[in-house]
Homo-oligomer: A and B are copies of this chain.
Amino acid sequence: MGSLRNSDQPSTAIRGVLLDLGGVLYVGGVPIDGACLAVQRLRDAGLPLRFLTNTTRRSRRQVLDDLRGLGFEAREQELLTPAVMARSVLEERGLSPILLVHPNLEEDFLGIPAGYREAVVVGDAGEDFTYRRLNQAYRKLAAGAPLLALAKNRSFQDADGELSLDAGPFIAALEYASGATAFVIGKPSLAFFQLAVDSLGHNAENVAMIGDDAEADIEGAQAAGLLTILVRTGKYRDGDEGKIAIAPHHVVDRLDQAVCWVLEAHHAPAVGG
């Protein structure tokens, strides 16, 4: 029996954890009960963490400041945003970016050398989506530049409480005009989860994703082969777990319970630990 359990273990043992931010650690600027301690417990257990957010209006530095203000400490390399991911894709492929993103994000792309093959990077540029800038981007695409989309959301809830246009419609416009298909970087894209898993240095089946969005967090992570835990906070609505192709591995009320499940049931101590 002992040897059987041992040979089973590597495929389910959790060696790293991915955490969504909004709706999992905090909601509307207020930390969720027990969330801070839960993150500390994961660190104490020696589990490497990555925070995955789809924000396309805050730079990495700004998100780290936001987290700190809410009582969460995270290192720069632990925070993965679509802009950070886009940067690593650009650098890996030797591409120079043509940016059509929110002004806040421009600092995430500082220092990438110009003069290489160009790629158009589109995020939630808001009022900066002018005809002139979209047309410039279109001409680059028509000349063969690849199209990187930080996310393809249709809309977001604006300050006045109504829905407003997100980046998705403008990406659809550029795709329609040029015939190109955008490489979408944000969750639920497979690439986002794969890059996050790679950065942990573990295999997907040994990494757990904890999120509140059944579609973006859970379905995407399932497709990438991760263990998944859905929390019933934030964006979660009754029955969400039944609306996706494959159910999450586990559904719990809050982050602290998700962490309990990770540590009690599935955490295999590091070899030699």
Contact = CB atoms under 8 A, between A and B. Distances in A.
Interface of A: 126-132, 134-135, 138-139, 142, 154-155, 162-166, 168-170, 172-177
A177 B158 CA distance: 14
Contact of A131 (B127, B138, B176): B127
A154 B177 CA distance: 5
A69 B187 CA distance: 57
B177 A169 contact: yes
A174 to B, nearest CB: 7
Contacts of A132: 127
Given A131-B127, A139-B162, A168 B177 contact: yes
Contacts of A139: 162-164
Interface centre among A127, A142, A165 (most CB of B within 10 A): A165
Contacts of A155: 138, 142, 177
Nearest to A130: B130
Contacts of A154: 176-177
A132 B164 CA distance: 10
A132 B155 CA distance: 14
A168 B162 contact: no
A165 B172 CA distance: 13
Contact of A163 (B130, B134, B142, B173): B142
A111 to B, nearest CB: 29
Contact of A134 (B135, B165, B175): B165
A170 B142 CA distance: 17
Contacts of A165: 131, 134-135, 138, 173, 177
Contacts of A134: 129, 165, 169
